[in-house]
Amino acid sequence: MALSLEDITQLLATRGVNQYGREAVSQLEHALQCAQWAEKSGETPATVVAALLHDLGHLLAPGGDTAEQDDLHQYMAIPFLRGLLPDAVLEPIRLHVDAKRYLCTMEPGYWETLSPASQHSLVLQGGPFTPKEAMQFAAQPFAQEAIRLHRYDDHAKVPGLVTPPLGYYMALVQRLVQALAVVAVAADLAPVAA
């Protein structure tokens, strides 16, 4: 069953007040900071929305976010968002954990820049890629967006940082949903070639 915009807002506003793993911010604060980083960096609306929703799977996981097992949150939200949002949002969400694994392999010293909680979750998520896995990851569509998203993720852990409110970013989500609906209607109305 797909989530509605109201469902997403409700999840972020209620379950999002919980602490973000072992970080010093809530899930909602992390989401808003990540979206703000993406927006300030000049990302497309789709990448800003991916930044906002990249950890939505933690809020959908049956046991919630736990620091002792990988909840596969990067996959958890995708079925609930498919049909509502375009692949330009869904794929960076799906790939953002692999982006961390990629960065740990391809950038010497990147591991050391991760927070202790992020280092811990990386171990649960399979650790750094092998060089071959890293190259395969980088060749996928939306891998570069996922890498940038993960960099915003790394910075979005500042207690008390002022961000635009959830409604500001949900308006952007709504515009993307409406744009996708217009494209779908246009595709349905397009004449079939004989």
Contacts 24+ apart (CB under 8 A), 59-63: 59/11, 59/12, 59/15, 59/16, 59/27, 60/11
pLDDT digits (tens, 9 = 90+) for 1-50: 789 999 999 999 999 998 877 788 999 999 999 999 999 999 999 999 99
pLDDT at residue 104, rounded to an integer: 93
Cα(153)–Cα(123) distance, integer angstroms: 17
pLDDT of residue 191: 64
pLDDT tens digits, 125-160: 888 999 999 999 999 999 999 999 999 999 999 999
pLDDT tens digits, one per residue of 181-194: 877 666 656 565 55
The β-bridge partners of 26 are 19
Q: What is the DSSP string of 26-77?
A: BHHHHHHHHHHHHHHTT--HHHHHHHHHTTHHHHHSTT---TTS---HHHHT
Instruction: Give the architecture (CATH level 2) of 5-181.
Output: Orthogonal Bundle (1.10)
Q: pLDDT class for 65, splitting at 50, 70, 90?
A: very low
3-state secondary structure of 191: coil
Residue 125 pLDDT? 84
Domain ranges of the chain: 5-181
